[in-house]
Chain A
Amino acid sequence: AQSVAQPEDQVNVAEGNPLTVKCTYSVSGNPYLFWYVQYPNRGLQFLLKYITGDNLVKGSYGFEAEFNKSQTSFHLKKPSALVSDSALYFCAVRDVGTYKYIFGTGTRLKVLA
């Protein structure tokens, strides 16, 4: 079965610094990977996806993610963090052959002013 892991419960970063939120995956076949963000009392919002092609994927709000097949990782990055980026971030994988999307356990990002 497909799965994703987010090894960090929380990431703290100073405003203006680059941020990385980590995700590793375990899939059979080609991975279909996604990042979502959740703000307080809101649903999950789609940020970006990797299907095939370029290993660096650009998404909403200045976020990007780097797909690394050898390390089975799909880390979320942003060159310069904003306080408003503080939220809960979820990595997800599409379960091949089913209609199901499997989510990681989430990483809380805190950007400090």
Chain B
Amino acid sequence: EPEVTQTPSHQVTQMGQEVILRCVPISNHLYFYWYRQILGQKVEFLVSFYNNEISEKSEIFDDQFSVERPDGSNFTLKIRSTKLEDSAMYFCASSEVQVYNSPLHFGNGTRLTVT
């Protein structure tokens, strides 16, 4: 079964450094998302992306965050200057079509640790 793949699985960075989290969505999917999960509990929406532009973003997704689909397969999340509170598990997700019954397919996540 096709999967969403994320790299790296674990990223450690120092406060103030830039990080790029990478995702390869399922090949025929058109809608892409980033979510994050803090302390293994609450799953928070960051951003959705369609047709090479942001569809919606949350209040968490401030100017330090950006997303990009640099080629036909990758979908990246960049944090420009990381803060301690950015430490979390970041999940990429995709869906095939944007109808209300279309479930999200998640990758296994990147654990970001900011020291």
Chain A interfacial positions (CB closer than 8 Å to B): 32, 34, 36, 41-46, 49, 51, 88, 90, 94, 96, 98-103, 105-106
Contact = CB atoms under 8 A, between A and B. Distances in A.
Contact of B41 (A44, A49, A98, A105): A105
A17 B105 CA distance: 30
B23 to A, nearest CB: 11
Interface stretch (B14-22, B64-72, B96-104): B96-104
A97 to B, nearest CB: 10
Contacts of B50: 99
Interface of B: 4, 31, 33, 35, 40-45, 48, 50, 55-56, 58, 91, 93, 98, 100-101, 103-109
Nearest to A99: B48
Given A88-B40, A105-B41, A46 B55 contact: no
A68 B102 CA distance: 21
A103 to B, nearest CB: 4
A43 B109 contact: yes
Given A36-B106, A43-B107, A103-B42, 15 more contacts: A34-B103, A42-B108, A43-B93, A43-B109, A44-B43, A44-B93, A88-B41, A96-B100, A98-B55, A99-B31, A99-B33, A99-B50, A102-B45, A103-B45, A106-B41
Contacts of A43: 4, 91, 93, 106-109
A46 B100 contact: no
